[in-house]
């Protein structure tokens, strides 16, 4: 009984200390499939469109346009959306735990050859500029970032003008490792474990005392 209580407390403590990994995608409509665009065509949507989930500039969604297939599902986005708005930037905000480490992955492709299509991606403590020069050729990208807040915004910003370029698909954020508890949580947990150990020793001593009588 005491032994199982002790085990339960220890397991709870260890679970709190180490990662609780979750594979659920924290991004909604990360594959750009939630609004159906007819096969071999494109449409653009402004923020606030039901099921779009992305904020910022318009989101242009393609379905197998020019015979180029999605890297995941049937549809993908072109960051340089229609119509020309100067700077193209889309973002999505999701709940995180400050100090938690998260996996970010997505696929990107140039729309044209040798045009140095470029965009910046940022989330938490992470920022990087990516470029591609090969038309209709998916590149896989994956990294980790640390959440700086209890919500994090993932942002893709095109560094090219004009409405052509920077195809995106399969945007996924998952929890990798959660932070260890704050010091003010660790101390009560250690006290709890010490108390359980003390009780265990006490009961053992009493039992052996009874037997030796
Ligand atoms: Ca897709
Ligand atoms: Ca479709
Ligand atoms: Ca476009």
Q: Answer yes or no: do 203 and 101 share one domain.
A: no
Q: Answer yes or no: do 101 and 190 share one domain.
A: no
Ligand nearest to the CA of 163: 3
Q: Answer yes or no: do 97 and 187 share one domain.
A: no
pLDDT tens digits for range 46-81: 999 999 999 999 999 999 999 999 999 999 999 999
Q: Answer yes or no: do 163 and 194 share one domain.
A: no
In a domain, 77, yes or no: yes
Q: How far is the CA of 159 from the centre of ligand 3 (A)?
A: 14
Q: Answer yes or no: do 192 and 108 share one domain.
A: no
pTM of the model: 0.79
pLDDT at 112: 98
Q: Which residues surround ligand 3, an ion (CB under 5 A)?
A: 60, 78, 80, 82, 163
pLDDT at 9: 57
Of 60-64, 67-71, 134-138, 189-193, the one with minimum mean pLDDT is 189-193
pLDDT at 191: 85
Q: How far is the CA of 32 from the centre of ligand 3 (A)?
A: 15
In a domain, 16, yes or no: no
Residue environment code for 136-145, b if the CB has 16+ CB neighbours within 10 A, otherwise e? eebeebeeeb
Q: By the 8 A CB rule, do 101 and 125 touch?
A: no
Domain count, the chain: 2
Q: Is pLDDT of 38 > 80?
A: yes
126-132: strand order across its sheet: 55-56, 89-95, 151-158, 117-123, 126-132
Q: Answer yes or no: do 40 and 143 share one domain.
A: yes
For the beta carbon of residue 205, count every other beta carbon within 10 angstroms.
10
Q: Distance between CA 152 and CA 124 in Å, rounded?
A: 6
Q: Answer yes or no: do 172 and 187 share one domain.
A: no
In a domain, 124, yes or no: yes
Q: Answer yes or no: do 92 and 128 share one domain.
A: yes
Average pLDDT for the chain: 90
Of 14-28, 84-98, 143-157, the one with minimum mean pLDDT is 14-28
Q: For residue 14, name the pLDDT band (cuts at 50, 70, 90).
A: low
pLDDT at 25: 98
Residues of the chain with pLDDT > 70, as a percent, come to 87
Q: Is pLDDT of 1 > 60?
A: no
Ligand nearest to the CA of 33: 1
Q: Is pLDDT of 206 > 70?
A: yes
pLDDT at 102: 98
Q: Answer yes or no: do 139 and 42 share one domain.
A: yes
Q: Is pLDDT of 33 > 70?
A: yes
In a domain, 125, yes or no: yes
Element holding 145 (H helix, E strand): strand 139-146
Q: Answer yes or no: do 95 and 191 share one domain.
A: no
Q: How far is the CA of 164 from the centre of ligand 3 (A)?
A: 5
User: How does DSSP assign 72-136, residue by residue?
Assistant: SSSEEEESS-SS--SS-EEEEEEE--TT-EEEEEEEEEBSSTTS-EEEEEEETTEEEEEEE-SBT
The CATH number assigned to the domain holding 58 equals 2.60.120.260
User: How does DSSP assign 21-68, residue by residue?
Assistant: -B----STTTTS-SSPPPTTEEEEE-TT-TTT--EES-EEEEESGGGP
Q: How far is the CA of 2 from the centre of ligand 2 (A)?
A: 59
Higher pLDDT, 121 or 194: 121
Q: Answer yes or no: do 150 and 71 share one domain.
A: yes
Could you list the residue range(s) of the whole structural domain that residue 65 is in?
Answer: 21-177
Ligand nearest to the CA of 58: 3
Q: Distance between CA 76 and CA 84 in Å, rounded?
A: 19
β-bridge pairing 75-78 and 59-63: antiparallel
Q: Answer yes or no: do 138 and 36 share one domain.
A: yes
């Amino acid at each position: 009984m005491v032994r199982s209580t002790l085990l339960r407390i220890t397991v709870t403590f260890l679970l709190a200390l180490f990662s609780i990994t979750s594979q659920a995608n924290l991004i909604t409509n990360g594959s750009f499939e939630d609004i159906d665009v007819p096969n071999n065509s494109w449409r653009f949507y402004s923020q606030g469109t039901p099921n779009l989930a992305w904020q910022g500039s318009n989101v242009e969604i393609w379905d197998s346009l020019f015979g180029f297939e999605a890297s995941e599902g049937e549809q993908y986005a072109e960051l340089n959306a229609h119509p020309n708005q100067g700077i193209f930037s889309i973002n999505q905000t999701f709940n995180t735990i400050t100090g938690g480490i998260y996996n970010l992955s997505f696929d990107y492709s140039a729309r044209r050859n040798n045009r140095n299509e470029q965009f910046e991606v940022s989330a938490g403590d992470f920022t990087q500029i990516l470029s591609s020069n090969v038309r209709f050729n998916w590149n896989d990208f994956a990294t980790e970032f640390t959440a700086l807040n209890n919500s994090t915004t993932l942002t893709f910003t095109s560094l090219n003008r004009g409405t052509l370029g920077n195809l995106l698909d399969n945007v996924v954020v998952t929890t990798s490792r959660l932070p260890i508890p704050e010091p003010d949580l660790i101390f009560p947990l250690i006290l709890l474990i010490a108390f359980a150990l003390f009780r265990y020793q006490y009961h053992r001593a009493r039992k052996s005392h009874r037997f030796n009588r």
